Amino acid sequence: MLPKTRKKALQKEIAAAEHARELVVDVLMALQAHYGHVTDEAVFEAADLLGMTPMEIEEVATFYTFIYRRPVGKYVIHVCDSVICWMESERPLLEVLCEKLGIAPGETTADGLFTLLPVCCIGYCDRAPAMLINRKAYGPLTENKIDRILTGLRQEG
Amino acid sequence: MYPQVLFQNRQPDRTATIKTYRAGGGYRALADVLQQNAAARVRQVLLDAALLGRGGAAFPAGVKLSTVAEDAPYPRYVVCNADEMEPGTFKDRVLIFADPHQLIEGLILAGFAVHAETGIIFIRPEYEGAAAILEREVRVAEKAGYLGKDILGSGFDYRIVVHRSGGRYICGEVTAQINALQGKRPNPLQPPPYPTEKGLWQKPTVLQNVETLCCMPHIVAKGADWFKNLSLTPSGAGTKIFGISGRVQQPGCYELPMGVPLSEIIEDHAGGMIPGSEFKACLPGGASTGFLPARHYHIPMDFEALKKAGNRLGTGAIMVFDHKTCLVGVTLNLMEFFARESCGWCTPCREGLPFIRELLYEIESGRGKPEYVPMLQEMSRHLWHAYCAFAPGAAAPLASLLDEFEDEIQDHIKRKACPFSALT
Amino acid sequence: MLKLTIDNQPVAVPAGTKVIAAAEKLGIMIPRFCYHPALGSVGACRVCAVSVLKGPRTGIQMSCMLDVEDGMVVATGDPAAVAFRRQVIEWLMANHPHDCPVCDEGGHCLLQDLTVSGGHGRRRFPGKKRTHRDQQLGPLIQHEMNRCIQCYRCVRFYREFAGYPDLGVTGIAARVYFGRFREGTLESPFAGNLIDICPTGVFTDKPSRYKGRRWDFQRSPSICIHCSLGCHTTVSARYREIVRIEARFSPTVNGHFICDRGRYGFAYANAPERPRQGRIDGETQPVSTALDAALERLTTVSRTHGPDAVACIGSARSSLETLGALKRLCERRSWRGPFLWPDAQTARAVQTAAACLAPELRLSMKELEDADFILVVGADPVNEAPMLALALRQAQRQGATIAVCDPRPVALPFAFEHLALAPPFLADAIRIFARAAAGPPQAGVRASGGDAHPPDPNMPPAVQARLAAMGATARTCRRPVIVCGTQIVNSRTVARAADTARMLKSADKPAGLFFVLPGANAFAAALLSDENGAFNTLQAGIADGHVKAVLAVESDLPAAGEGLAPALKSLDLLVVCDYLNTAAARAADILVPTRSVFEEGGIFINQTGCAQRAAPVHVGGTPVAQTGGGDHPPRTFERSIPGAEALSAVQALDRLAGTETADPPAALADLHPVLAPFASRKWPDEGQLLDLSSEAAPSADWPPEEPPAAGKTFELVVRERTFGSEALSQRADCLRPLEKAPRILVHSDDAARLGIAAGDRVALTCAGGVIEGTADVRNTVAAGVVIVDRHRELNWPAAGAGWVRIEAKQIHKIEKERER
């Protein structure tokens, strides 16, 4: 369950909106921030908050890249695999990260820290190759830089 | 150095404050037209300035605003499309980071021009930093009296809302974006009705790209002729933010006059090709434009010239490829992108793109068969009969690969390997 | 009208018509997957591409998205369009499994047809096929998502057309998925239509899985007999078994769809316990022997005690021919009857409805969809006549305001206003509504409602205000319609509904009247019986010994749960003719098996007075699956068909009457003036709307209702459910999981007063026995009402009618049921 204060804040926001439905992505993001990902329970909560059916929520939730319907790690790495980053990488970044994290795309490391997901062009082509970690952009990347970033995040835990 | 209009307040790693923006003449255009209650003038000057939409489709912005009928129902909406997801494109991010009030003023002006009550900035989740800046600066603009009730005593009420997307390329499409804003699945919706008639919540809605909106305060302030004269070519108007990336020394965003030659952008502004690289081709305006081969190296970069060359200026995102880049690989990557981002509504897009991707993958992996080439040719033509412009966009690089670089494809098939893999 | 040319043929169609529909007028079936006449155009599949040679935009265009224009020239066979369509098929087939041999859709699959006819036969796609996980969607529908071609028809039907929330589309791109949020039985009673509209094998019929290909089946056009609407169906049979029922298009009745009760309710015809042979005093006998014995014994009773000692009962599930034969038998032998109704109240309500349904007032279901205001009185559409709910939904989607006055917790798949009113208030509710709808009195305009009784003081003022507001709304509407049920209301309510519809109607206002009747042939039964034709009027005669013998023909009337109405037990002779193994059939001294509608066909008059004919599907007999015990072909050979001995009820009754009806339809013309059309041999496909104008309009001058004594008396209402109530479909095993647990419902205020909580065991002591069941407490039940579900687990026949009044003291809570 969403904490009461957070839920109240959302309810206030929904009440102030012209149409409750326009906030479906915001509500899902808020639930995701709380649960880590959009759990089944979160789908029901969102439906309840917005006056929609769980099916309608699911239809929207499963459409978007940044709404996770499955558990993810503390850090979600979205690796750009579009054309400039692909061209500017010695080796595909995704491959490098899979190797360094010991997971396949879509998986989460055993320590629950990292989830690796490919994503299309993130708009940092001037800093290619690039990736997002919890929506913060990193680039241009080299294998060494990736090592440093991952080490830093591991230390933060 | 060409005149810097949209980038006049751009500083490295700094976002212009409202103070800076006003010092450069910002919000004066808004104050002017509000005082004179000159909504019609705003629409007219934008029409006269021949401002073409900078989001890729190049639809005349003034025409779009004028499409909202005088007696159309209220409330009306203006949506700023900051869902910049065309691969290779990053100009809107740079514009927002550089000078957010320029966009805010543009969005207010567009709202005023059609008597809208709400401006919505639809922004992709990858640009969370930009979204936060916009939210902050919208509050600043409210405090300064440019937003809210009875703006500058004119009786005009207007608010701006920042809407964060969940992230999908198709959300950049007008009708898909309207669906997304309504909390529906962002499938496009074929007009009629047009959004300017029945858009968001079935009310008149005007969608404009970030860069288009950013041009508006300057046009309103300085006039249509001034704007048109910014262009190097008579067919163009204004400046253009070119985002250049790929095999150049200094990738980045440059504000240059419309019609500036491609060669000049690469050599004088982007620092030239990286050492040891030769220009082979570029995508002149994002992933849904065609490969522009070396014979067009000096082409003036404006909407008309590229159209004449059978291509499109698109978003002005130039992706430069050199002689060591495998264009089959590039196209495969692009098809991968389009196939993944298809909304899944219509067959050519949902099924055709993965089919094409698979054929290109086979070719790139050295398993291509000669009959794949005519198949690709036919399919690239058939992509045009999709529901929305997404699949025809995907057809552009594919068709140009087949037209201009068929030998490269044939080479893959003959050698049963990618001829470029040895080069890198 | 716009004139255009398609494939060199001229055609004129109204503006706004799509090219695909214009082509259909010429008999040109342009390929389609996503387009469906009932669901409209969405342009998703792109397989309806044609070449526009002349028009605003030439070249390849999607004919489903393209409005016709004057002078347009279209070529469907243009090589460019053909090549593109072939391409679309190839793309769709890239992921579609090549499992036609094990797919139940094979043989009637649109994708298969278009793939073959389009010439795509060689796989050029080098990649793998995309796969999905299927969901378990309940007992009726098999889900196989791998076969999906993403035409979106399913969600468009389920959500937009039918209005149910639990099917949707998730994911994007090539992973788009159609299913439920979680696995589980689909909630909609119209879910079976997914099978018909899915152009491939994603949704297939589960009970008939692997029972054969379409071309293996004997198929005939039929009429659904599971409620009074008379939806058109196509029935398939194989190996002497009814295998599948599908919707058959009808422009006026059901459109393209049917409900799941109609689709899956046929199992009774295949049931192993179905009577196939005659039986005399417990001994199996040939049918003709049983019939001879029946004639002999009935004649004996008639001779000994007078013809009055023999009574004939029938029911609204019989064909018109059977009802006619029964009536002729009664006339010829001077036997009592026919008794076709469970109780006098229902008989009068239906007879009133049939008499009130003037041709200028009656509406087809299609016309009902065009209404902009609908007042539903005493009807529970999803439960009593499911397809009516779908028609109401279409009206509502087009902006109609819909209000329901009914004591039951009516649920509909759209927004509507429910006024939970006890049955005695319904007639007054219509009057209050009518008065407001009529507006201020004008000279020369007939006052509505017919009587001068003031509104019942027991009706809450707020309810009266709402009714007046609805009336005011209806007054401003173009086509207001009254929908009136007949199961739980009296004839006064029915008559008033008709009067109000008549009042609303004017030259520019095509107002109308739509009844819901109890039983497929209730209308016919109303024509062929009088108000004495109710079983409970016969009971007295049996009880006092005047009636010694009963002939029950396809009748459920005496069945009281698993037992038999006590009165029948005292008879000297009970003869039953039926195709069902009812309680009466089991108790019969002589049993004569009859043929079902699938073997005999028959005429059924629906609630709009439209006589429609069901064609026979097969000869019948014991299904091979039963005779062969799973072994086929049979190892013994004989000339006769096992289990096909049964006669039609008409033949049996004629034998008892000592006559032979050479032409049963023509014989009907003599029974009632409105049946005159049957004398002619011509039979319109769309059925025959009976000419009801000869019927006199009834007077609305009915005595006032006796007001209920609040808190002291309760109105006991028997509620039909979509599944589990209707006599035939309740025998379908596959529908059992869809039945809702039967309950005895009361309003929460009444529950508190009676000391009843949800889940308590409750007993209602009625004239016909005790009804015992589990209580449910709801605010959507009208105050002062006790609702009993019509379900085999509840002794609902003890109520004696659809609506009776009981005293509070007849309601008991059974103490400590669970603790004991």
DSSP C515: E
Q: Where are the domains of chain A?
A: 4-63, 75-156
With CB atoms and an 8 Å threshold, state whether A58 touches C181. Answer: yes
- Give the residue ranges of chain B where pLDDT is below 70: 423-424
Residue B376 to chain A, least CA–CA distance (Å): 20
- CA–CA–CA angle C26, B384, B358 (5° rounding): 115
Other beta carbons less than 10 A from residue C405's beta carbon: 28
Tell me whether domains A4-63 and A75-156 share a fold. no
3-state secondary structure of C242: strand
C697 in contact with chain B, both atoms CB, cutoff 8 A:
no
Among candidate residues C228, C789, C311, the one with its CA nearest the CA of residue C535: C311
Q: CA nearest A121 in B: which residue?
A: B87
Instruction: Look at chain C and count its residues.
Output: 820
pLDDT given at position C820:
43
Residue C343 to chain B, least CA–CA distance (Å): 52
With CB atoms and an 8 Å threshold, state whether C45 touches B346. Answer: yes
Residues 84-113 of A with CB under 8 A from C: none
With CB atoms and an 8 Å threshold, state whether C165 touches A59. Answer: no
pLDDT, mean over chain C = 91
Other beta carbons less than 10 A from residue B144's beta carbon: 16
Superfamily of domain A75-156: Glutaredoxin (3.40.30.10)
C171 in contact with chain A, both atoms CB, cutoff 8 A:
yes
Mean pLDDT of C345-354: 92
Q: Is the pLDDT of residue A30 over 90?
A: yes
Q: Where in chain C is the domain with CATH 2.40.40.20?
A: 713-819
**Distances from the Cα of C279 to the Cα of C284, C584, C585, C588, C596, angstroms:** 4, 13, 10, 9, 18
For chain C, give the percent of residues with pLDDT over 70. Answer: 93
pLDDT digit string, tens, across residues C687-697: 888 887 645 55
Contacts of B47 (CB under 8 A, 6+ apart): B60, B62, B63, B66
Q: Which residues in A26-41 are b (16+ Cβ under 10 Å) and which e?
A: bbbbbbbebbbbbbee
What class is the C2-93 domain? alpha beta
C180 in contact with chain A, both atoms CB, cutoff 8 A:
yes
In chain C, which residues have their Cβ closer than 8 Å to the Cβ of A43? 181
Contacts of B397 (CB under 8 A, 6+ apart): B283, B287, B288, B289, B290, B291, B330, B331, B334
What class is the C347-517 domain? alpha beta
B354 in contact with chain C, both atoms CB, cutoff 8 A:
yes
Q: Is C537 exposed, middle or buried (0-12, 13-18, 19+ CB in 10 A)?
A: middle
Residue C12 to chain A, least CA–CA distance (Å): 41
CB C744 within 8 A of CB C754: no
Chains in contact with C, where contact means 3 or more Cβ–Cβ distances below 8 Å, are A, B
pLDDT given at position C784:
93
| Of A82-96, C132-146, C624-638, the least confident | C624-638
Q: CA nearest C51 in B: which residue?
A: B385
A47 in contact with chain C, both atoms CB, cutoff 8 A:
no
Indicate the residue type of C51: S
pLDDT given at position B127:
95
- CA–CA–CA angle B382, B388, B390 (5° rounding): 75
With CB atoms and an 8 Å threshold, state whether C46 touches B386. Answer: yes
3-state secondary structure of B82: strand
Distance separating alpha carbons of residues C433 and C427, to the nearest angstrom? 10
Among candidate residues C50, C59, C52, the one with its CA nearest the CA of residue C20: C50
Q: Is the pLDDT of residue C562 over 60?
A: no
Residues 540-579 of C with CB under 8 A from A: none
- Test mutation, B173, B350, B379, chain C, max C CBs within 10 A: B350
Token pair listed for B317: 């995102």
C776, β-bridge pairs: C745
- Test mutation, A31, A81, A84, chain B, max B CBs within 10 A: A84
With CB atoms and an 8 Å threshold, state whether A59 touches C166. Answer: no
Contacts of C644 (CB under 8 A, 6+ apart): C240, C619, C620, C621, C622
Residue A9 to chain B, least CA–CA distance (Å): 17
Q: According to the CATH classification, is domain A4-63 in 1.10.10?
A: yes
Instruction: Categorize the per-residue pLDDT at C662 as very low, low, confident or very high, splitting at 50, 70 and 90.
Output: confident
In chain C, which residues have their Cβ closer than 8 Å to the Cβ of A54? 181
Q: Which residues in B237-264 are b (16+ Cβ under 10 Å) and which e?
A: bbbbbbbbbbbbeebbbbbbbbbbbbee
CATH number (2.60.120.200, 1.10.3370.10, 1.10.630.10, 2.40.40.20) of C713-819 reads 2.40.40.20
pLDDT given at position C448:
47
**Distances from the Cα of C350 to the Cα of B300, C319, C340, C643, angstroms:** 83, 17, 11, 37
Q: How many cross-chain Cβ pairs, A to B, lie less than 8 Å apart?
A: 129
Distance separating alpha carbons of residues C794 and C164, to the nearest angstrom? 29
With CB atoms and an 8 Å threshold, state whether C165 touches A56. Answer: yes
C172 in contact with chain B, both atoms CB, cutoff 8 A:
yes
Chains in contact with A, where contact means 3 or more Cβ–Cβ distances below 8 Å, are B, C
3-state secondary structure of C46: coil
Token pair listed for C586: 């089991």
CA A147 to chain centre: 21
| CA dihedral sign of residues B1, B2, B7, B8 | positive
With CB atoms and an 8 Å threshold, state whether B126 touches A137. Answer: yes
Higher local confidence (pLDDT), C800 or B333: B333
C181 in contact with chain A, both atoms CB, cutoff 8 A:
yes
ipTM of the modeled complex: 0.96
Residues 107-166 of C with CB under 8 A from A: 165-166
Instruction: Categorize the per-residue pLDDT at C678 as very low, low, confident or very high, splitting at 50, 70 and 90.
Output: confident
Distance separating alpha carbons of residues A133 and A130, to the nearest angstrom? 10
A65 in contact with chain C, both atoms CB, cutoff 8 A:
no
pLDDT given at position C442:
56
Radius of gyration, alpha carbons of chain A: 18
pLDDT digit string, tens, across residues C457-472: 778 889 999 999 999 9
Domains of chain B from N-terminus onward: 18-229 (3.40.50.11540), 239-322 (3.10.20.600), 327-415 (1.20.1440.230)
The closest CB to that of C125, out of B342, B355, B387, belongs to: B355
pLDDT given at position C745:
97
